[in-house]
């Protein structure tokens, strides 16, 4: 039998079942498992499977033409620092980038001056049930119709529930390398009607591989405006969606940086499977 001491400041706790009280605290009896059984429960528990859906950030990694470039430069390169007789050699880097760099989510503030900033969005919105639709057939620069969305949803065997995150696999990263100039311009995306369709279905957030949710130009502006009007948003710059498309439901986790008054937030996006 083990005992764990609980400190109770300014008072002595009244004796309770399983608790031995004393002048300065209390001892709680904890029943240990029988000898030889320790660790079995832990061993039988399966670890969740995590799939990284984030894009790597590096110096001058591609960014949307509207946003500043990503600049990562050494700040401290293991120069020795001494305190007493102890020497420390640490390293750090200086980062200069947009709040829309890499894999990131747009805050409502991005769509208009009256929208919430990224630090005002509940973190629960970024811990949701999710699945990924297969739209890999779409051509580069094409806009995806409602009919194509409905067909992809039917083939997935899923239905969109209120508050879902819906990821859209267009195989864009497979077709256009990240360092190819076309990556910033030739992406496919949603039509205006498809954005409204997702909102009508109850989708809270949708995610794409490209730097924008819709093809470059007017369609992209319309998609952003529609997100603001409908109170939904989207994640841009996802990667590795081929690992989750057609895999059923999973837990999407993508907590953005808590940037005060931020119009967006870089995130580490992850799919969690409890299998």
Q: Is the pLDDT of residue 136 over 80?
A: yes
Lowest mean pLDDT among 14-18, 38-42, 80-84, 251-255: 14-18
The ranges assigned to domains in the chain are 2-41, 99-273
pLDDT of residue 3: 46
Q: Is the pLDDT of residue 241 over 60?
A: yes
pLDDT of residue 9: 43
Strand runs labelled E in 198-269: 205-207, 233-236, 250-253, 264-266
pLDDT of residue 99: 96
User: Taking a C-beta distance cutoff of 8 angstroms, is the pair 102, 123 a contact?
Assistant: no
Residue where the block lists tokens 């001056």: 113
pLDDT of residue 7: 44
Strand pairing category for 143-144 and 189-190: parallel
pLDDT of residue 120: 97
Give the model confidence (pLDDT) of 1-21 as tens digits. 544 444 434 444 444 444 444
Give the model confidence (pLDDT) of 155-195 as tens digits. 999 999 999 999 999 999 999 998 899 999 999 999 999 99
Tell me the average pLDDT across 205-215: 98
Instruction: Please enumerate in sequence order all residues whose Cβ is within 8 A of that of 126, keeping only pairs 6 or more positions apart, or say none.
Output: 105, 205, 252, 253, 254, 255, 256, 267
pLDDT of residue 25: 46
pLDDT of residue 42: 54
Lowest mean pLDDT among 31-45, 191-205, 253-267: 31-45
Give the right CATH number for 99-273 from 3.40.50.720, 3.40.50.11710, 3.30.565.10, 3.50.30.50.
3.50.30.50
Query: Which run of H or E residues covers position 224?
Result: helix 218-230
């Amino acid at each position: 039998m083990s005992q764990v001491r609980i400190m109770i400041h300014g008072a002595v706790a009244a004796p309770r079942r399983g608790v031995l009280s004393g002048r300065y605290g209390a001892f709680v009896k904890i029943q240990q498992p029988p000898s030889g059984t320790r660790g079995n429960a832990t061993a039988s528990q399966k670890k969740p499977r995590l799939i990284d859906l984030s894009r790597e950030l590096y110096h001058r990694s591609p960014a949307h033409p509207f946003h500043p470039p990503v600049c990562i430069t050494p700040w401290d390169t293991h120069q020795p620092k001494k305190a007493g007789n102890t020497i420390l050699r640490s390293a750090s880097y200086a980062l200069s980038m947009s709040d829309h760099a890499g894999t990131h989510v747009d805050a409502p503030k991005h769509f208009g001056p009256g929208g919430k900033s990224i630090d005002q969005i509940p973190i629960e919105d970024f811990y949701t049930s999710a699945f990924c639709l297969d739209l890999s057939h779409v051509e580069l620069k094409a806009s995806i119709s409602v009919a194509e969305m409905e067909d992809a949803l039917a083939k997935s065997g899923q239905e969109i529930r209120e508050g879902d995150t819906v990821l859209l696999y267009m195989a864009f990263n497979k077709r256009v390398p990240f360092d190819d100039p076309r990556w910033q311009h030739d992406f496919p995306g949603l039509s205006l009607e498809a954005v409204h369709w997702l909102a009508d279905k109850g989708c809270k957030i949708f995610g794409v591989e490209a730097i924008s949710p819709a093809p470059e130009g007017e369609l992209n502006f319309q998609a952003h405006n529609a997100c603001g009007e409908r109170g939904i948003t989207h994640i841009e710059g996802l990667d590795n969606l081929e690992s989750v498309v057609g895999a059923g439901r999973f837990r999407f986790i993508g907590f953005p940086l808590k940037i005060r008054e931020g119009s967006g937030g870089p995130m580490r996006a992850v799919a969690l499977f409890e299998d």
